[in-house]
Structure 1
């Protein structure tokens, strides 16, 4: 796994323009759709219980994001997730705020139990709470906390039998046996609502064109980081609003050569 592979998968996303079915939160819907379009994927936001199974069946990937949670949303996610599993469509799960309240934690655990996720992405606190590890969290935007994030990613991947990505200052992604560290991005990402949510959907775009979920997830992390760094440079001093617009521009402008020049991926010890 190297930056050349990442660049090839980026080109594959552009060539195939995969349909990504998002059941995501109301705060980030527009940004997520625009981000996927900028990257080269095709977003659809379908939530109705009457159609989610049919939409998931024809999608390249299904993204489940529990940022704004209620009983109907969970039911729709389970219906869509089961349909995706039945039709071999990759499922990406973002357990936003797991650990913040007992209800949110219970529903996150219910989803990973009843739906086979291909990739689970969250911050360290969210992932820890999904698997029952003690990790401090406050609200739905948790800090990294204390602990060995690489070990947590490996443990969670083994327990959930999936690929787990933990994002932070250094992103970690593991399938339980192979683990990669991705350095990049910029702190201003934390000042724009929905950048983590969009990242999970971008992972969905890569998962739609690559069967190796670890390679797909790692490639998404690298591309996202390179685009964020470029956006931060060009919007320097202008604040998060300008950064958000420039970030969409950079996702659209990103090339495989940019990935090869500025991307970083290393195997964890």
Structure 2
């Protein structure tokens, strides 16, 4: 296992590629997280498009540089839209990210849709420890959208899931872990306030999709996305007295990170 943090050249280079490439990132998420997710993507230089428009979702998935599907989109979108977007991304060769929010919390239909999406072999899966454990077939014990397991406990499940999908799996926690089934990279850092602002985890799924759009090695892409958010969070926490200003400062710090 290796550690990577900012300013590792692969992380700085990944951000530079996003800023210069300005990839279109299409996402399905819920209305609670959509605004922050869009602003996070704009802050790093990507171009976001969000929403499960029935007449346009498959088209956007095909023309985007990267796609992310957050299971919380089921708040407003029918399961068929999520499946169609994943299939359209696959057909176009577009890297796509699955964020399995609430998997393992006992919502049977949500778990069924997540399993169907996993069978479509996402480029990356990004979730908390309980979600990843549950998605890999373990007893995750998700509490709503919160994890009851540690990210370290999820590593073997993440490796197994990555081998199953042929992609990468990222586990969020005090230390994030990213694996392709063989390699495991730890991304330390961040700040507890990331868990106290709605939508930061959802936004991270969008960031992974943005980096996957321009970084050929998808493990490197996921690591860079996690490290960039962690670094911005650490810097935001230095000046923000509370969680409200932290959310704004987080966007500021993402936009100010030097990519060269």
1:104, distance to aligned residue in structure 2 (A): 1.6
**Aligned equivalent of 1:40, options 35, 45, 49:** 45
Hey, what does 1:137 align to over in structure 2? 142
Deviation at 1:103, TM superposition (A): 1.7
The 2-side partners of 1:222 and 1:7 are apart by 10
Mapping of residues 65-104 of structure 1, within 5 Å:
65-69=70-74, 72-100=77-105, 101-104=107-110
Q: Give the TM-score taking structure 2 as reference length.
A: 0.93
Aligned length: 254
Aligned residue number for residue 246 of structure 1: 249
Tell me, in whole angstroms, the C-alpha distance in 2 between the residues paired with 1:74 and 1:192.
27
1:217 Cα shift? 0.3
Deviations 1:110-143 (A, max 9, x none): 1111x22000000111011112111222112223
Instruction: State whether residues 151 and 175 of structure 2, in contact with CA within 8 Å, keep that contact through their aligned partners in structure 1.
Output: no
What does 1:124-203 correspond to in 2, within 5 Å? 124-145=129-150, 148-203=153-208
Tell me the residue number matched to 1:263. none
Contact 2:15 2:259 in 1 (8 A): yes
Structure 2 match to 1:260: none
Q: Distance in 1 between matches of 2:71 and 2:134?
A: 14
Tell me, yes or no, if structure 1 residue 56 matches structure 2 residue 61. yes
SS of residue in 1 equivalent to 2:214: coil
Give me the whole-angstrom Cα distance separating, in 2, the residues matched to 1:147 and 1:133: 14
Report the CA distance shift for 1:146/1:168 in structure 2 as closer, same or farther (over 3 A). Answer: closer
Q: Which runs of 5+ in 2 are unaligned?
A: none
- Equivalent residue of 2:72, what SS? coil
> Cα distance, 1:230 vs. partner?
0.2
Shift in CA distance, 71/17, structure 1 to aligned 2, threshold 3 Å: closer
Q: In the TM superposition, what is the alpha-carbon distance from 1:72 to its structure 2 partner? A: 4.0
RMSD between superposed Cα atoms in Å = 1.7
Distance in 1 (CA, whole Å) between partners of 2:174 and 2:227 is: 13
In 2, Cα distance between equivalents of 1:99 and 1:25: 19
Report the Cα offset of residue 46 of structure 1.
Answer: 3.1
* More off after superposition, 51-60 vs 154-163: 154-163
Report the TM-score, using the length of structure 1 for normalisation: 0.90
Conserved? CA contact 1:46–1:55, under 8 Å: no
Q: Secondary structure at the match of 1:208?
A: helix
* Deviation of 1:144 (Å): 2.9
Task: Mark the CA change 1:70 to 1:33 in structure 2 (over 3 Å): closer, same or farther.
Answer: closer
C-alpha separation in 1, matches of 2:169 and 2:101: 14
Q: Structure 1 residues 127, 30: closer, same or farther in 2, change over 3 A?
A: same
